[in-house]
Homo-oligomer: A and B are copies of this chain.
């Protein structure tokens, strides 16, 4: 299998035609609306991006045509220890040999709740669900049940899921779905005060991401004074401070993402990486919100399935044992420094923003992500899977060899972008 042969040159789209992918895309167009939906739709990505994947192992993925890539998307976050992590897969298989979805949860349910409560400083209790959107939605519901109020403050442009109340595309939603949202600007405490004042006495909660990671924009770390100010405003107004840790959770810190800055939310939403790819989400809360959480009714057919919980327990243990956050920071830092040096070498002005474990690269003056797209297409051609308009994800499985290959790919991508820009310039000069 190609993925096992670590030293071989990675396949490129020049050497491997995308026959299988094209064939599957044609079949998909018949039986799936638009051929694909959601965040993994490659329609707006460069043409050499595969829509369909075959396999993954560690920090490598293989598409349906057998092209192998170093993986800098990690399935958009869930894969934090690398694909098919042995400890996680073993724990999942052991649980699957007993049972998964039964007439009630298994012992894993209690163990996992205890584990999260011990791991995350603000948490006194836990609830488990399936989607990140389930978790952000439930946080809002608990905040409303506790306060008896309706309004939720959300940052302009922030992504908190894809249910009608929060999806960034309005098609099929109603005004009523969003009528209880009030917008503020990330890192702008005055805008929060203004939003609070506009619906005084009716604010149930303030929803906030650990840092600003809106797709298509440079990332922005949270201002510590902003986070502290939010906490104080929530305390004053009796609203819940809700941290949406779905995307960042466990990549920034082995615990809640705001623990390093010492600001504790009342409720937090988790998903993506908590079970290394197994379908699981969680809501954590403090004792003040416990009664409200038990007063409402929300559930799902697979919310108490044990295999994902066993996988999550193994993930949390492996992250600690393998010191994965530190490893991701180390590899992410080398990646960032390498990319900076390469960009400088090829005379390309780039910005790299946000945490090094969740890199975002943008090009100066890059209207409509044209340069980012060409860079991504080049990186992919040379064996590196990243995204032109969304933050990337480093996993704990990224070895030095993976990193070398990634940087070799980015270097070639920069080189080709430089050459094509020069060609264009010459062409324009004629």
Binding site for B on A (CB under 8 A): 20, 24, 27-28, 30-34, 36-40, 42, 50-57, 61, 63-64, 71, 73, 75-79, 83-84, 89, 92-93, 96-107, 109-110, 113-114, 116-117, 124-127, 130-134, 137, 140-145, 150, 162-165, 167-169, 171-174, 176-177, 179-180, 246, 271-272, 277-279, 285, 290-305, 308, 385
* CB pair B54 A162 closer than 8 Å: no
* Contact among B31, B83, B107, B127 with A126 in the assembled complex (CB-CB below 8 Å): B31
Contacts of A100 in B (CB 8 A): 277-278
- For the complex of A and B, 10 pairs with smallest distance between CB atoms: A38-B299, A34-B294, A145-B172, A169-B297, A141-B172, A33-B293, A279-B302, A53-B102, A33-B294, A31-B113
Contacts of A300 in B (CB 8 A): 38, 130-133, 162
Contacts of A114 in B (CB 8 A): 27, 30-31
Q: Complex formed: what's the CA distance from A177 to B277 in Å?
A: 31
* CB pair B103 A75 closer than 8 Å: yes
Q: Complex formed: what's the CA distance from A104 to B73 in Å?
A: 10
Q: A32-B126, A99-B84, A110-B28 are in contact. Are A172 and B77 (CB under 8 A)?
A: no
Nearest CB in chain B: distance from A26 CB, A: 10
Nearest CB in chain B: distance from A149 CB, A: 9
* CB pair A303 B145 closer than 8 Å: no
Q: Complex formed: what's the CA distance from A71 to B248 in Å?
A: 40
* Contact among B40, B125, B127, B292 with A299 in the assembled complex (CB-CB below 8 Å): B40
* CB pair A301 B132 closer than 8 Å: yes
* CB pair A110 B24 closer than 8 Å: yes
* CB pair B302 A54 closer than 8 Å: no
Name the residue among A30, A162, A308 with the largest chain B CB count within 10 angstroms: A162
* CB pair A40 B75 closer than 8 Å: no
Q: How many copies does the complex hold?
A: 2
Q: Complex formed: what's the CA distance from A163 to B36 in Å?
A: 25
Contacts of A296 in B (CB 8 A): 167, 169, 171-173
Besides A55-B102, A272-B301, 9 more A-B contacts (Cβ < 8 Å) are A24-B107, A37-B297, A84-B99, A92-B96, A144-B172, A162-B298, A169-B295, A176-B180, A246-B301
Name the residue among A98, A106, A113, A285 with the largest chain B CB count within 10 angstroms: A98
Contacts of A302 in B (CB 8 A): 78, 130-131, 277-279
Contacts of A105 in B (CB 8 A): 36, 40, 51-53
Contacts of A168 in B (CB 8 A): 297
Contacts of A141 in B (CB 8 A): 164, 171-173
* Nearest neighbor of A387 in chain B, beta-carbon distance: B103
Name the residue among A32, A96, A98, A180 with the largest chain B CB count within 10 angstroms: A32
Q: Complex formed: what's the CA distance from A141 to B77 in Å?
A: 27
Nearest CB in chain B: distance from A91 CB, A: 13
Q: List 17 A-B contacts (CB under 8 A).
A: A24-B110, A28-B113, A32-B109, A37-B293, A38-B298, A54-B107, A75-B101, A83-B102, A89-B96, A130-B279, A131-B134, A137-B163, A137-B164, A141-B171, A145-B172, A162-B298, A271-B301
Q: Complex formed: what's the CA distance from A100 to B88 in Å?
A: 13
Q: Complex formed: what's the CA distance from A321 to B99 in Å?
A: 23
Contacts of A32 in B (CB 8 A): 109-110, 113, 125-127
Contacts of A33 in B (CB 8 A): 125, 127, 285, 290-291, 293-294
Contacts of A78 in B (CB 8 A): 101, 301-302
Contacts of A24 in B (CB 8 A): 107, 110
* CB pair A171 B150 closer than 8 Å: no
Q: Complex formed: what's the CA distance from A278 to B101 in Å?
A: 8
Contacts of A304 in B (CB 8 A): 38, 40
Q: A52-B104, A144-B172 are in contact. Are A130 and B127 (CB under 8 A)?
A: no
Q: Complex formed: what's the CA distance from A63 to B304 in Å?
A: 14
Name the residue among A27, A164, A292 with the largest chain B CB count within 10 angstroms: A164
Contacts of A176 in B (CB 8 A): 150, 176-177, 179-180
Q: Complex formed: what's the CA distance from A322 to B31 in Å?
A: 26
Q: Complex formed: what's the CA distance from A32 to B246 in Å?
A: 20
